[in-house]
Chains A and B, each alone.
Chain A
C-alpha cells in the first residue's frame, strides 16, 4: 500500500503564475518530508525539505507547506518558469532509514 501519494499526475501552469503541487501521506510516524525534481533520463535533484516541527519552509521561489493534522504537504513555486517543467516527487521518512516516494506530478510551465 502506497504511503505517499501524489494524486495529480500532471499540472499545466502559465509562466509567471504560481504552481502548487500536492502530496498526501498516511503514516503518522513520518517526520521529515522532501521534494525532488526530475528530468527524463536523469536522477532526482533535491529541492527543499521540511521537518515535522515546522509548517513552512522557504527557499527562493520554492515554499513547502506541511499540514500534519491533514497529513498533507504542498510545494509552491512562485513565479513559475519554463525551466521548472519537470516531474516533481515528494518523499517522506520516519527515521532517515527508508524514504518513501510518491508517483510524481509532471509540471508543464507554458511560456
Chain B
C-alpha cells in the first residue's frame, strides 16, 4: 500500500480563483510527478521533480506551477483557474529506479 496523499479530493471553484492542490508522500521517494487525466484519455505528465529544489515541466503544457521545498511535499498551484483546467489531477512518486505509485487524485471543476 502506497502512502501518498492528495487534498482536496474534490474541488469546485469559480473562474479566476487561485488554487493549490496538495500532494504528500511518506515513503521518502525522491521523484514526484503531477499528471492530468480526462476520461478515456491517457495520463499526461504536466510536472515532475527528481528531488528537493528540482522541478521540470512535463510533456503537456500547463499553466500551473509546482514547488519542491521538502522531499515529501509537492504542491501544484493555479494562479487563475479557468474552465479549461477542469480535469482530474493525479500525483505520483517513485524511488530512483522504482515503480510509480499514485495518490487518490483531485477532481477539479472550474465553473
> Could you say which residues of chain A place their CB within 8 Å of the CB of B90?
43-44
> Could you say which residues of chain B place their CB within 8 Å of the CB of A36?
102
| Number of chain A residues close to chain B: CB under 8 A | 22
B99 within 8 A of A: yes
Task: With both chains docked as a complex, state the minimum distance between the C-beta of A9 and any C-beta of chain B, in angstroms.
Answer: 7
What string of 1s and 0s marks CB contacts (under 8 Å) between B86-102 and chain A?
00101110101111111
A73 within 8 A of B: no
Max count, chain B CB within 10 A of own CB: residue among A9, A91, A101 = A101
Q: How far is the CA of A36 from the CA of B92 in the complex (A)?
A: 13
Q: How far is the CA of A49 from the CA of B97 in the complex (A)?
A: 13
Q: Is the CB of A49 within 8 A of B99?
A: yes
Measured CB to CB, the nearest residue on chain B to A10 is B40
| Number of chain B residues close to chain A: CB under 8 A | 32
B104 within 8 A of A: yes
A2 within 8 A of B: yes
Q: Is the CB of B102 within 8 A of A44?
A: yes
Task: With both chains docked as a complex, state the minimum distance between the C-beta of B68 and any C-beta of chain A, in angstroms.
Answer: 15
Q: Chain A interface secondary structure, helix, strand, loop or mixed?
A: loop
Task: With both chains docked as a complex, state the minimum distance between the C-beta of B69 and any C-beta of chain A, in angstroms.
Answer: 21
Known: A34-B99, A44-B90, A46-B99. A102 touches B105 (CB 8 A): no
Which stretch (A11-19, A60-68, A75-83, A92-100) binds chain B?
A: A92-100
What string of 1s and 0s marks CB contacts (under 8 Å) between B44-61 and chain A?
010010100000001100
Q: Identify the B interface with A (CB < 8 A).
A: 2, 6, 9-10, 31, 33, 35, 40-43, 45, 48, 50, 58-59, 88, 90-92, 94, 96-105, 107
16 further A-B contacts with Cβ under 8 Å, apart from A43-B90, A43-B104, are A9-B40, A41-B9, A41-B10, A43-B102, A44-B43, A45-B102, A46-B100, A96-B96, A96-B97, A99-B45, A101-B42, A102-B42, A103-B40, A103-B42, A104-B40, A104-B42
Interchain Cβ contacts under 8 Å between A and B, 7 examples: A41-B105, A46-B101, A97-B31, A99-B33, A99-B45, A99-B100, A104-B41
Q: Identify the A interface with B (CB < 8 A).
A: 2, 4, 9, 34, 36, 41-46, 49, 89, 91, 96-99, 101-104
